[in-house]
Structure 1
Amino acid sequence: MTTPVTEQLHQEAIGLDARPLTEVANLLAQSQSKAAAAPLASLPSICAGAKEMAQTIRSGGVLHYLAAGSSGLMAAADALELGGTFSIPASQIRIHMAGGLPSGVEMPGDTEDATGTLAHDLADLSPKDTLITVSASGSTPYTVAAARIARDKGATIIGIANNDGTDLLRLSDHSILLATPPELISGSTRMGAGTAQKIALNMLSTLMAVELGHIQDGMMINLRADNDKLRARANGIVCQLTHVSPEQAASALTSAGGNLKCAALLAAGAQTLNQAQALLHETNDHLRPALERVKNKETINLGDTK
């Protein structure tokens, strides 16, 4: 049987412990850099998966992030940021980690083989949902069993793995192979494999946000402004998009109840909050075409909206 790439010995590993730390550090940085390029070979699958995720959110479905071990930490980190960064409702996000998210400093290793709770944990999975599941080996029992359940329930499956031809990738509707080199520390997939996984997950969620209209000109226009830093950022974004003063932006944000897109439309000249909301509804929640309509005064049909 061929040893999976993620378990193979790195060509520079022999004598690693006898080298100066500066040499080891250089090798570590180089191996991470090579791993970071792995998602480039899977751009079509990543984009297709992101579109499915966006459709799940639009249709009221749920994104299920599922993995074990260090892959689970990568998946959870991405999922936990979706609310604050893009205002994805918490009701549309689930995190499933083998053994549960750790509450202390130890993470049990035997749980990746434990599949007994999956039928219960994924009982409400529906065809509107998307399962994003991650496994460096591509054969982790927890992730493979979850993919089989998702397939039976008609949910979309995005599978991320670092070894080709594995069960997880075969079961996935959108298989994302991250062909990272062997780890400098053999089998320590929190390193290169984990780096590539984090990049791929960040790409999926960010591209989903682009598809949903939550990013414009590199700015998070659907952020949840729930602290001073983000309130200041929201104000700055409205100023940048509409060229109004900070005071005018603050007034628009207050009138819009903190909704940045609506605030930008009000600052640009929309007459009422209802009119701003109607414009966004017509443009499928994309701010750019809505702003163009306001700037070009193409809102006559909405002018009497109260």
Structure 2
Amino acid sequence: MRPVDEVPLSRTEQRNPRSSTIDRMSTLELLSLINAEDCLVPVAVADVLPALAAAVELAVTALAAGHRVHYFGAGTSGRIAVLDAAELIPTFGLEPDRVVAHIAGGTSALTRPSEAAEDDETAGAAAAAEVSEGDLVVGVTASGRTPYVRAALSTARARGARTVLVSANPASPIAPAVDVHVAPDTGPEVLTGSTRMKAGTAQKLVLNAFSTATMVRLGRTYSNLMTDMLASNAKLRDRQLRILAEATGADLAQCRQALLSAGGDAKVAVVTLIAGASTEAAGQALVETEGHVHQALRLLDHRSPLRAGAEHPPD
């Protein structure tokens, strides 16, 4: 390992000249500076959207083929990855083992930081041993050189997985070995080296966009409505009914009955209400179109007797 003074500093570890006097600022001045720096993050993310789109395509390909997506991260990056993976389950009804997050130090590191764990290459390689050929592995590290993440990515490649790196370091030494590098350049932090700030915010934006775009591409929504969400409490059951009403124009009583007939499957209820199809026909159309509502509706419309030469409805 090279001496510390020979390792080039990433931009996230450099001092920010705009914040050199923060310990002498008023509270409002300090907060205004932090806010001004935060405003730079979405711009940096916008600059890497082509790379992010390539990462989404890899995820869509993997999940559509029955494979999995794995996140690997340490510290703040790992906690953000765990949060993103966990929220896909209630938001999109995703099966719990389809997008899996691995954090250095294990689940205890979610609440009790284990900073030394990020240097554990053996643990990173061991965690990646459950990766299979065809999976996608996403390493998340602000510095772009975390040993735990590097080892996980290397092991994943050897097992036949595609790889993505999400970092805040365009010059990451890990990047040349991955398929896609998503590296919003968020620059030096307000507090030198505190990557839970701008770099962490960028990672949250990137993973939110990555996973949401992936789920939409896989048909886990209808329009911009969460038709696949898990309605596991009273608030969410109410939201589910409102989503049905928004999607179909039906009143709440009709939506409630359609949902009951569909066994609680909101997507089936949407198709029955819009297409006027039976629950069985709606479910079959969704199976045939891999859950894409628009495609299922077109399929049912094509199969309609009206399209086969029967009497056409009035205009």
In the superposition, the TM-score normalised over structure 2's length comes to 0.90
Residue 106 of structure 1: aligned partner: 112
1:294-305 alignment, distance < 5 Å = 294=300, 296=301, 298-300=303-305
From 169, 173, 179, the counterpart of 1:167: 173
1:139-218 alignment, distance < 5 Å = 139-218=145-224
The answer as to whether partners of 2:127 and 2:152 remain within 8 angstroms in 1 is no
What is the CA RMSD across the aligned residues, in angstroms?
A: 2.0
From 85, 94, 100, the counterpart of 2:91: 85
Residue 73 of structure 1: aligned partner: 79
Residue 273 of structure 1: aligned partner: 279
From 61, 67, 74, the counterpart of 1:61: 67
Residue 115 of structure 1: aligned partner: 121
Aligned length: 301
The answer as to whether partners of 2:121 and 2:150 remain within 8 angstroms in 1 is no
Residue 3 of structure 2: aligned partner: none
Q: Assess, with a 3 A threshold, how the Cα gap between structure 1 residues 38 and 254 changes in structure 2: closer, same or farther.
A: same
Deviations 1:124-159 (A, max 9, x none): 311221111100000000011111011111111111
- In the TM superposition, residue 292 of structure 1 has moved relative to its aligned partner by 4.4
Q: Assess, with a 3 A threshold, how the Cα gap between structure 1 residues 188 and 44 changes in structure 2: closer, same or farther.
A: same
Unaligned runs of 5+ in 2: 1-5, 309-315
Matched, 1:262 2:268: yes
> Which has the higher mean CA deviation after the structures are superposed, 185-194 or 155-164?
155-164
Q: Secondary structure at the match of 1:116?
A: helix
- In the TM superposition, residue 211 of structure 1 has moved relative to its aligned partner by 0.6
In 2, Cα distance between the equivalents of 1:196 and 1:30? 14
Overall identity of the aligned pairs, in %: 32
User: Which residue identity lines up with residue 282 of structure 1 in the other structure?
Assistant: E
Q: Secondary structure at the match of 1:216?
A: coil
From 9, 13, 27, the counterpart of 1:7: 13
Residue 24 of structure 1: aligned partner: 30
Matched, 1:127 2:133: yes
- In the TM superposition, residue 260 of structure 1 has moved relative to its aligned partner by 1.3
> Which has the higher mean CA deviation after the structures are superposed, 189-198 or 96-105?
96-105
Matched, 1:247 2:253: yes
In 1, Cα distance between the equivalents of 2:82 and 2:305? 46
Deviations 1:262-286 (A, max 9, x none): 0111222443322112211333321
User: Which residue identity lines up with residue 171 of structure 2 in the other structure?
Assistant: G
Unaligned runs of 5+ in 1: none
Q: Secondary structure at the match of 2:166?
A: strand
The answer as to whether partners of 1:143 and 1:168 remain within 8 angstroms in 2 is no
The answer as to whether partners of 1:144 and 1:167 remain within 8 angstroms in 2 is no
Deviations 1:234-293 (A, max 9, x none): 111111121111111111111112211101112224433221122113333211232345
In 1, Cα distance between the equivalents of 2:236 and 2:151? 40
- In the TM superposition, structure 1's runs of 4+ consecutive aligned residues that sit over 6 Å from their partners are none
